[in-house]
């Protein structure tokens, strides 16, 4: 299976997600990025899913359920954040002049990918293989 190396290293990936969450919250508190409730929700969901990934048994049904609830919240918020920015890209108003860490289109797209990957990893239990 193509996800086997990722499933074996789910705890390492969970710690990376927690580090991403912590770094982005630090950037928010310091004032490097502007205050955005969408961004705060997305980074919090990435952190919660990261915490679920480092649990002793991340494939337990309760971890999967809680992860699914938070993933749906994060994905809905990320989509609501991504598509208005995509409309600007299609209208030709997108520019690379702003710093990349302030661009909502790129960051919400990354959040969509990260949250989707995290929930897929929570559902790829090595014990489920037959």
Hey, where are the domains in the chain?
4-128
Is 16 strand, coil or helix?
helix
pLDDT of residue 34: 78
Tens of pLDDT, residue by residue, the chain (130 residues) = 556 776 778 899 999 999 999 999 999 999 887 788 999 999 999 999 999 999 988 989 999 999 999 999 999 999 998 888 777 767 776 666 667 666 777 888 899 999 999 999 999 877 665 4
This model's pTM is above 0.75: yes
Distance between CA 50 and CA 111 in Å, rounded?
13
Tokens for 103? Answer: 């661009």
- For residues 2 and 39, what is the distance between their CA atoms, to the nearest angstrom? 31
Q: Is the dihedral of CA 101, 37, 25, 118 positive or negative?
A: negative
**For position 106, what pLDDT does the model report?**
81
Tell me the C-alpha distance between 66 and 99, whole Å: 34
């Amino acid at each position: 299976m193509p996800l086997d190396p990722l499933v074996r290293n789910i705890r390492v990936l969970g710690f990376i997600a927690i580090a991403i969450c912590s770094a982005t919250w630090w950037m928010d508190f310091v004032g490097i990025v502007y205050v955005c409730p969408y961004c705060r929700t997305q980074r919090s969901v990435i952190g919660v899913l990261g915490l679920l990934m480092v649990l002793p048994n991340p494939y337990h049904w309760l971890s999967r359920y809680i992860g699914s609830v938070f993933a749906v919240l994060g994905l809905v918020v990320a989509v609501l954040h991504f598509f208005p920015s995509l409309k600007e890209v299609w209208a030709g108003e997108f520019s690379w002049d702003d710093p990349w860490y302030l661009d909502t289109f790129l960051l919400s797209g990354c959040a969509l990918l990260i949250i989707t990957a995290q929930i897929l990893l929570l559902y790829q239990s090595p014990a489920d293989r037959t």
